[in-house]
């Protein structure tokens, strides 16, 4: 598959914007305007709300988000490595209302898909013509015995949702003695951000190299091998951190003992001074309220990948990490889901057919030290009956370097602006 100018315009959103702006949305029952409710103001939800308003100026959008601030999961590992602070990855939502988005700070507690009504903890009942769910992931804490108790006591954290646990894990690493052991785990796929755990190992190793050079990392992987950017991470571990990272595949945590600071796998009891266990994951809880967590295992959301509308719940769309597909669960990909979904919703509300062959792209950088990064990048076109098919030109770097670290920094700044400004 090769890219032409038309494909590039689809990726950037310009092609979809031109199509969306060419018609008006159908009218909502109460205000005379169609109403879209978006749940979750992360990479996917905030982007989708913004582009629905830009491409469908006659569509009202309500964005429901319980948190005061946007905290970026991409680059949150940099906080653990000591090269960024929590303030660096935390941003406000102040610019979104400027697009005509109504922001509601609340938790969704119920979804009546038949009546098309969302209810919130604060007592609001909000009707919709189309509903977009972008809740990210739910951590399956029950899959690791003892994890809930250890997490509640502040002894063991997953830090897989950037925020207070990220700051706590950083403090635990700072308090760890030189010569101590950091034990962390990688959940079995699928999970949010495939290269994330391996980047985390690099960032912690970078910190140890600077501040605690006698320390080591034991990386327990629930998968049979490194699942993303293997060449990049193996090169970093061998050249930048030789002997510091003990990588153990097929070693999923089964239990945690916070009192003895032990992680139990099928093969061994692993003792550490700091434990960072990341359990398995599934689609965010709000998708279950809508009946959209509908794959065979009841964990992820199957959707029409040309529109991201649920295959079982009409008028409900799911985007981002909650979706069951062959696409990577990344922040960049979530923004691409969002644009395809936004364009499709504007077309559907206008009584037109959405683009049957949308194109999306993914770029994912991973830092390997405080000055080096590498990337993976791919472009995908939707094909009916096949899903998204990757262009052969995509791929990953085999070694990190300073130029890609600069690109990594710029990517983060640009995507935050894309989502929030």
134 and 145 co-located in one domain = no
Q: Given a cut of 60, is residue 370 above it in pLDDT?
A: yes
Q: How many angstroms separate the CA atoms of 52 and 88, rounded?
A: 28
Q: How many angstroms separate the CA atoms of 383 and 381, rounded?
A: 6
- Tokens for 235, please give them: 């090169």
217 and 106 co-located in one domain = no
Spell out the alpha helix ranges (H) of 212-305.
Answer: 230-239, 285-289
Q: Please indicate, yes or no, if residue 165 is contained in any of the structural domains.
A: yes
Query: Tens of pLDDT along 152-207?
Result: 999 999 999 999 999 999 999 999 999 999 999 999 999 999 999 999 999 999 99
158 and 182 co-located in one domain = yes
pLDDT computed for residue 31 by the predictor: 59
> How many helices (H) and strands (E) are present in the chain, helices listed first?
11, 25
Domain around 180:
141-279
Q: Given a cut of 90, is residue 40 above it in pLDDT?
A: yes
Angle at 78 between CA 402 and CA 86, to 5 degrees: 135
- Give residue 23's pLDDT band: very low, low, confident or very high (50, 70, 90): very low
252 and 208 co-located in one domain = yes
**pTM for this structure?**
0.91
194 and 219 co-located in one domain = yes
- E strand intervals along 187-322: 216-221, 245-248, 255-257, 262-264, 269-271, 274-276, 281-283, 303-304, 309-310, 316-318
Closest listed residue to residue 126, CA positions, set 29, 24, 26, 27: 29
Domain end point (choices 322, 355, 388): 355
Cβ neighbours of residue 241 closer than 8 Å, sequence gap 6 or more: 202, 205, 206, 209
What mean pLDDT is predicted for residues 101-130? 98
Cβ neighbours of residue 64 closer than 8 Å, sequence gap 6 or more: 37, 38, 39, 40, 41, 104, 106, 108, 118, 120, 126
195 and 261 co-located in one domain = yes
3-state secondary structure of 68: coil
- Give residue 32's pLDDT band: very low, low, confident or very high (50, 70, 90): confident
Q: What is the DSSP string of 335-378?
A: HHHHHHHHHHHHHHHTT-PPPSS-EEEEEEEEESSSS-EEEEEE
- Tokens for 42, please give them: 């992360």
Mean pLDDT for all residues in the chain: 93
Q: Judging by beta carbons within 10 Å of its beta carbon (0-12, 13-18, 19+), is residue 214 exposed, middle or buried?
A: exposed
Please report where in the chains the tokens 């305007």 appear, as a residue: 33
Burial letters 42-69, b for 16+ CB under 10 A, else e: bbbbbbbbbbbbbbbebbbbbbbbeeee
218 and 293 co-located in one domain = no
User: Kind and range of the H or E element at 50?
Assistant: helix 43-55
Domain end point (choices 235, 261, 279): 279
336 versus 9: the higher-pLDDT residue is: 336
Query: Which CATH number characterizes residue 79's domain?
Result: 3.50.50.60
Q: How many angstroms separate the CA atoms of 330 and 193, rounded?
A: 5
Closest listed residue to residue 282, CA positions, set 315, 249, 329, 327: 329
Please report where in the chains the tokens 């049957």 appear, as a residue: 356
What mean pLDDT is predicted for residues 253-276? 97
132 and 167 co-located in one domain = no
Q: Please indicate, yes or no, if residue 304 is contained in any of the structural domains.
A: yes
73 and 154 co-located in one domain = no
């Amino acid at each position: 598959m090769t890219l032409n100018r038309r494909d590039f315009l689809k990726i950037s959103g310009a092609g979809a914007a031109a199509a969306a702006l060419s018609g008006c949305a159908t009218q909502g029952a109460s205000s005379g305007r169609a109403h879209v409710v978006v749940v979750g103001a992360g990479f996917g939800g905030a982007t989708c709300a913004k582009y629905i308003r830009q491409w469908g100026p006659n569509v009202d959008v309500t964005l429901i988000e319980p948190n005061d601030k946007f905290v970026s999961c991409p680059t949150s590992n940099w906080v653990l490595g000591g090269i960024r602070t929590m303030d660096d990855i935390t941003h406000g939502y102040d610019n979104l209302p400027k697009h005509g988005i109504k922001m509601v700070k609340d938790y969704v507690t119920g979804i009546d898909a038949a009546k098309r009504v969302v209810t919130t903890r604060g007592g609001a009942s909000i009707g919709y013509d189309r509903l977009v769910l972008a809740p990210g992931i739910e951590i399956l804490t029950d899959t690791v015995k003892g994890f809930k108790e250890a997490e509640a006591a502040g002894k063991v954290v997953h830090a897989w949702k950037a925020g207070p646990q990220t700051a706590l894990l950083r403090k635990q690493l700072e308090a760890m003695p030189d010569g101590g052991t950091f034990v962390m785990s990688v959940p079995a796929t699928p999970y949010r951000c495939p290269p994330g755990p391996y980047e985390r190992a690099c960032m912690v190793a970078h910190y140890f190299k600077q501040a605690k050079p006698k320390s080591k990392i034991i990386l327990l992987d629930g998968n049979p091998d490194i699942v993303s950017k293997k060449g990049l991470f193996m090169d970093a571990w061998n050249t930048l951190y030789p002997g510091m990272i003990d990588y153990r595949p097929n070693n999923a945590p089964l239990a945690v003992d916070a009192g003895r600071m032990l992680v139990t796998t099928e093969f061994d009891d692993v003792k550490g001074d700091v434990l960072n266990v990341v359990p398995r994951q599934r689609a965010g809880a709000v998708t279950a309220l809508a009946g959209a967590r509908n794959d065979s295992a009841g964990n992820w959301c199957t959707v029409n990948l040309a529109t991201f509308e649920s295959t079982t719940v009409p008028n409900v769309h799911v985007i981002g990490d909650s979706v069951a597909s062959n696409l990577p669960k990344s922040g960049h990909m979530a923004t691409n889901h969002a644009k395809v979904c936004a364009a499709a919703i504007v077309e559907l509300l206008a009584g037109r057919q959405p683009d049957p062959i949308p194109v999306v792209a993914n770029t994912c950088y991973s830092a390997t030290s405080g000055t080096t990064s590498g990337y993976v990048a791919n472009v995908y076109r939707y094909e009916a009956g096949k899903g998204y098919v990757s262009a052969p030109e995509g791929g990953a770097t085999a070694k990190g370097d300073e130029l890609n670290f600069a690109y990594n920094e710029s990517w983060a700044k640009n995507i935050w602006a894309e989502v929030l400004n």
